[in-house]
Structure 1
Amino acid sequence: MNAPAIVARRAAAALALGLVSAGVVRAQGPIPTAPPALGKLNALTLPPTTRSTLPNGLRLMVVRKADLPLVDFLLVIRSGAESDPADRGGVATLTADLLDEGTTTRTALDIADQQAYLGVQLGTSAGFDQSTVVLHTPRAQLDSALALFADVVLRPSFAPADFDRLKKDRMTQLLQVKDRGTVIADRVFPAVVYGPEHPYGRPTNGTEASTTSLTRDDVARFYATYYRPNNATLIVVGDVEPAAIAARIAALLGGWSRAAVPGMRRVRPEAAAPSTIHLVDKPGAAQSSLRAGALGAPRSTPDYFPLQVMNTILGGPFTSRLNRTLREEKGYTYGAVSRFEFRRDVGPWLARSEIMTAKTDSALLIVMAELGRIREPVPADELDKARQYLVKQMPEQFETTRDIAARLVPVALYGLPTDYYNRYAERVEAVTAADVQRVARRYIDPRTLQVVIVGDRSKIEAGLAATRVAPIVRRDLEARPVP
């Protein structure tokens, strides 16, 4: 049979299948016009976590999940970009990137080859509050995989050639993102909210200037200062016996030497400024990148659950107020969200969207209106849907060993109680409409809202000024004021 005939036959088969499927749907009755009633909230029950501490101060959290022969290890170092020296931004992330680029006993190629041979996955990263090393391995390769993991953690070489290569790659990345409005907005927003002296006001990957100044000694110093067992927690999830795996870890990591670790540098964010529109010109931009927000709360806040429910209503899922209005009703954007970034210190909250240029001013007015409306009493049905959403999406975040390990990171990092997830549904369900209104009025204050818009100034500035939302300050790509 020739090719056109094959294509025709397949198309006919697909059409027939579609007609049959349509017939089945019709046979089942009319399509519902309303969503089904929400079911009862179900609590999540996780396997117990076995905790212990090695003599050198390394904390262990082990969860046995024996349904599949897999094990995940996740080492959490309780220091990240917030510990970068002010003039050495990006050193924490560069240190993490270099860990698996070579050790005193293995080259980067050796590490990659052994991962492929064993069928394991090894990765490193750093955020504001933490640095991490992760290992995903089949149970059968546990001993060899753990030896590789320990080598990367304990004996990174930071070879000059590897440092120079990754530093060059970092500079290339920083130059590339300067042309992306969404990245520019994400860099300028924290800078104007926190100010230049606060570590949360600087990008985790640093700037061109800070990266240029980084040396191999900076990386080695960061590692020697913060990568200490008494500043770390090792999370283990999978087909292991807690006592047996603790003994294996002690044999491999027990010689890791402890040392005094500097505490987090507490820098007070700049005082909340009056509401301002910070406009960054990007000539020819096809859309405007909008960020609007202010200081939020630390992860330790007792308002955590009310804030989660409130944000779910405002800009969490697809059906949230911001997305429904800006996308579904107005068609100004492909999506709009809001979030609170909970960290060890006070994290930010923000609403964000990418808006068609011609509707930038109209979209800003809608965002302002929704931020004002969330401060009003929330209808009971909307509150219930938000609580249901938060609880019902939780179980899917614990399906795999990797999922569970990732979810235990905030428990290790922020000292959450051991029953945190088992009581999650209970805590969410306890949030009332009064709680939502209280936290909305406390944290979302239009008088101190900082709005960052990156777009074609020649096309959007006049419209933004006409909104009278706030005075406009022009800024460059590094958040510096410009005429």
Structure 2
Amino acid sequence: MRTPRLTAAAVAIVALLPAVSNAQGTATPASTVPPTLSAPTPLKLPTMVERTLPNGLRLVIVEQHELPVVDAQLVIRTGSEADPTTKAGLATLTANMLDEGAGSRDALGLAEAIGYLAIRLNTFSGLENSSIALHGTRATLDSAMSLMADVVLRPTFPEKEFTRLKSERLTVLLQEQDRGPAMADRAFAALVFGESHPYGRSTSGARETVEQIGLDDVTQFWRTYYRPNNATLVLVGDLTVREAESLAASAFGGWERATVPPVTYAKAQPAGPTAIRIIDKPKAAQSSFRIGSIGVPRSTIDYYPLMVMNTALGGSFTSRLNNTLREVKGYTYGAGSGFSMRREAGPFTARAEVVSAKTDSALIEFMNELKGMQKPLPAEELAKVKRYLRLGYADGFESTSDIASQVASLVPTGLPLSTLGSFDAGIAKVTAADVQRVARRYLDPSKMQIIIAGDRASIEPALKATKIAPVDVRDMRGRPVIVP
């Protein structure tokens, strides 16, 4: 093997690097020495002003005059949690239909107008909210907001586009049946929350539920929940508060308010003792792990300790899970964990895609790391995690769209705007005792659902041999499968 040689240019560059002395007193290029991080400083957030239009539409306005751009995000406080059980997927189909024709324009006309104005206009629906997001320049803002208002207030819901989108949705659902990660995600939600709970179903629905959805259902969902008194409009960018109010009133002032029915459902019950559920994907080269349980709502008083605890466990590249399963063992390209904090308690999930031959070994490491979090976090690790969170928080506020998204994220949970400014102090106060307390309360290895989508024939015997928990076989909806 030939020894690589430095080119003349590379030698010159290295020669120009300043040198520092290492512990032995010899000179070392500065590029090999990690930079010294400055102490975290609290993020100074821009002023957020709230207003309410006569029809009940709440406004949150943030002036940012550095660039001539504006982001608008309209958040409807209802998502797929309002889907009828037999028509799961309705909220997302409704959001998808909004920009397929609105006002005097058909789908192609909308696309042409969006291109002409050089804006972005996206529609979306999740579990607890639906949203329409706009990004554009100050110069075309009046026209852009008028177009956005057409999409929200005057969608035409053309039959042809509905048929196409529904067909595309059914195709995607069919494709998911051959994708291990998607199989594991669906089974995990169903097994942790139960299929009758909104959190136990996919926002995309299932084949039999999507087939039941008609265009009248879409129209009725929009008519029922897309109301100003069920919405918040976030405006961030190069405009004053007075200009923002005038713009919102012009675009949405004629939107009629109406009584919006509350969305109610029974509280999810814990699934019980730890169990291993195999979702069979014959001849799969990898196993998709989803391990977890019911977690906490976003309003929990333990939010900051949980952020610190989870970052140490699986919330960053240098976390324990990723370091063990990727860097040390080489079982996966990446492993992590997180709490999905919603209006109600969402799931805690630890996850990874693992090479099939190491499924049992990976499970042992997962459980070891979960158990390890029950012990006090070393002072050095605690300090590193807190610094990582505090220094990284500002990344979420770099642009007008970032700020709009941060504000919009508070809408479904009903948290006050002041929540965004309390992060640094909240993280700074977390102690090792706090981390251990929440780990013991919310990470109980004896009450975890372990879902593994993979080749049952090759992984089942080894999983049983671990004796970690009973093993059975389920389908991707979490339902029992009778096997020979």
TM-score normalised by structure 2 residue count: 0.95
Supply the distance in 1 between the matched residues of 2:168 and 2:347 (Cα, whole angstroms). Answer: 29
Which residue is 2:314 aligned to? Answer: 315
Q: Which moved more, 1:230-239 or 1:99-108?
A: 99-108
> For 1:71, what is the secondary structure of its paired residue?
strand
Supply the distance in 2 between the matched residues of 1:198 and 1:17 (Cα, whole angstroms). Answer: 63
Which residue is 1:8 aligned to? Answer: none
Report how far residue 411 of structure 1 moved.
2.5
Q: Which moved more, 1:130-139 or 1:265-274?
A: 265-274
Aligned amino acid, residue 366 of structure 1: E
> For 1:186, what is the secondary structure of its paired residue?
helix
Which residue is 1:21 aligned to? Answer: 13
**Correspondence list, 1:237-256, <5 A:** 237-256=236-255
1:140 and 2:132 correspond: no
Supply the distance in 1 between the matched residues of 2:157 and 2:460 (Cα, whole angstroms). Answer: 48
> For 2:49, what is the secondary structure of its paired residue?
strand
CA contact (8 A) 1:315 1:336 kept: yes
- Which digits, 9 at most, give the CA deviation of each residue in 1:73-125, with x for residues without a partner? 00000000111111110000010011011014111111100111111110000
How has the CA–CA distance of structure 1 residues 443 and 407 changed in structure 2, closer, same or farther, with 3 Å as cutoff? same
**Correspondence list, 1:35-74, <5 A:** 35-74=34-73
Supply the distance in 2 between the matched residues of 1:17 and 1:148 (Cα, whole angstroms). Answer: 54
Report how far residue 177 of structure 1 moved.
1.9
Which residue is 1:417 aligned to? Answer: 416
Aligned amino acid, residue 17 of structure 1: A
Which residue is 1:5 aligned to? Answer: none
Aligned amino acid, residue 144 of structure 2: A
CA contact (8 A) 1:410 1:416 kept: no
Report how far residue 159 of structure 1 moved.
1.1
Which residue is 2:158 aligned to? Answer: 159
CA contact (8 A) 2:88 2:210 kept: yes
Report how far residue 25 of structure 1 moved.
4.1
- Which digits, 9 at most, give the CA deviation of each residue in 1:329-367, with x for residues without a partner? 111111000000000111000100001111100000000
Supply the distance in 1 between the matched residues of 2:313 and 2:66 (Cα, whole angstroms). Answer: 38
**Correspondence list, 1:252-331, <5 A:** 252-331=251-330
> For 1:274, what is the secondary structure of its paired residue?
coil
> For 2:250, what is the secondary structure of its paired residue?
helix
Report how far residue 476 of structure 1 moved.
1.5
Supply the distance in 2 between the matched residues of 1:38 and 1:433 (Cα, whole angstroms). Answer: 22
Supply the distance in 2 between the matched residues of 1:471 and 1:421 (Cα, whole angstroms). Answer: 43
Aligned amino acid, residue 332 of structure 2: T
How has the CA–CA distance of structure 1 residues 397 and 461 changed in structure 2, closer, same or farther, with 3 Å as cutoff? same
Supply the distance in 2 between the matched residues of 1:299 and 1:460 (Cα, whole angstroms). Answer: 36
1:445 and 2:444 correspond: yes
CA contact (8 A) 1:97 1:125 kept: yes
Computed over aligned residues only, the root mean square deviation of the Cα atoms, in angstroms, reads 1.7
Report how far residue 272 of structure 1 moved.
3.1
Report how far residue 37 of structure 1 moved.
4.8
Supply the distance in 2 between the matched residues of 1:192 and 1:252 (Cα, whole angstroms). Answer: 44
Which residue is 1:30 aligned to? Answer: 28
Unpaired segments ≥5 residues, structure 2: 1-5, 21-26
Report how far residue 34 of structure 1 moved.
6.8
Which residue is 2:376 aligned to? Answer: 377
Which residue is 1:332 aligned to? Answer: 331
Aligned amino acid, residue 322 of structure 2: N
Supply the distance in 1 between the matched residues of 2:29 and 2:148 (Cα, whole angstroms). Answer: 54
> For 2:375, what is the secondary structure of its paired residue?
coil
Which residue is 1:473 aligned to? Answer: 472
Which residue is 2:342 aligned to? Answer: 343
Which residue is 2:24 aligned to? Answer: none
Which residue is 2:91 aligned to? Answer: 92
How has the CA–CA distance of structure 1 residues 88 and 31 changed in structure 2, closer, same or farther, with 3 Å as cutoff? farther
Report how far residue 26 of structure 1 moved.
7.5
Supply the distance in 1 between the matched residues of 2:404 and 2:9 (Cα, whole angstroms). Answer: 43
Supply the distance in 1 between the matched residues of 2:390 and 2:104 (Cα, whole angstroms). Answer: 47
Which residue is 1:176 aligned to? Answer: 175
Percent identity of the aligned residues?
Answer: 49
> For 1:336, what is the secondary structure of its paired residue?
strand
Supply the distance in 2 between the matched residues of 1:353 and 1:192 (Cα, whole angstroms). Answer: 18
Which residue is 2:23 aligned to? Answer: none
Which residue is 2:125 aligned to? Answer: 126
CA contact (8 A) 1:43 1:423 kept: no
Which residue is 1:4 aligned to? Answer: none
- Which digits, 9 at most, give the CA deviation of each residue in 1:394-414, with x for residues without a partner? 112111111110111122332
How has the CA–CA distance of structure 1 residues 48 and 83 changed in structure 2, closer, same or farther, with 3 Å as cutoff? same
Supply the distance in 2 between the matched residues of 1:411 and 1:87 (Cα, whole angstroms). Answer: 29
CA contact (8 A) 1:90 1:205 kept: yes
Which residue is 2:3 aligned to? Answer: none
Alignment coverage as a number of residue pairs: 472
CA contact (8 A) 1:190 1:201 kept: yes
> For 1:337, what is the secondary structure of its paired residue?
strand
Supply the distance in 2 between the matched residues of 1:425 and 1:59 (Cα, whole angstroms). Answer: 27
Supply the distance in 1 between the matched residues of 2:13 and 2:33 (Cα, whole angstroms). Answer: 22
Supply the distance in 1 between the matched residues of 2:418 and 2:257 (Cα, whole angstroms). Answer: 29
Aligned amino acid, residue 52 of structure 1: R
Supply the distance in 2 between the matched residues of 1:463 and 1:50 (Cα, whole angstroms). Answer: 58
CA contact (8 A) 1:45 1:421 kept: no
Supply the distance in 1 between the matched residues of 2:307 and 2:147 (Cα, whole angstroms). Answer: 39
Supply the distance in 2 between the matched residues of 1:254 and 1:117 (Cα, whole angstroms). Answer: 26
Supply the distance in 2 between the matched residues of 1:54 and 1:213 (Cα, whole angstroms). Answer: 37
Report how far residue 248 of structure 1 moved.
1.8
Q: Which moved more, 1:231-240 or 1:438-447?
A: 438-447
Aligned amino acid, residue 20 of structure 1: A
Aligned amino acid, residue 107 of structure 2: A
Supply the distance in 2 between the matched residues of 1:216 and 1:390 (Cα, whole angstroms). Answer: 45
How has the CA–CA distance of structure 1 residues 371 and 224 changed in structure 2, closer, same or farther, with 3 Å as cutoff? same
CA contact (8 A) 1:102 1:157 kept: yes
- Which digits, 9 at most, give the CA deviation of each residue in 1:357-396, with x for residues without a partner? 1110000000001000101111111111111111111112
CA contact (8 A) 2:192 2:270 kept: no
Aligned amino acid, residue 28 of structure 2: P
Which residue is 2:203 aligned to? Answer: 204
CA contact (8 A) 2:191 2:271 kept: no
CA contact (8 A) 1:44 1:421 kept: no
CA contact (8 A) 1:282 1:455 kept: yes
Supply the distance in 1 between the matched residues of 2:33 and 2:463 (Cα, whole angstroms). Answer: 39
**Correspondence list, 1:199-238, <5 A:** 199-238=198-237
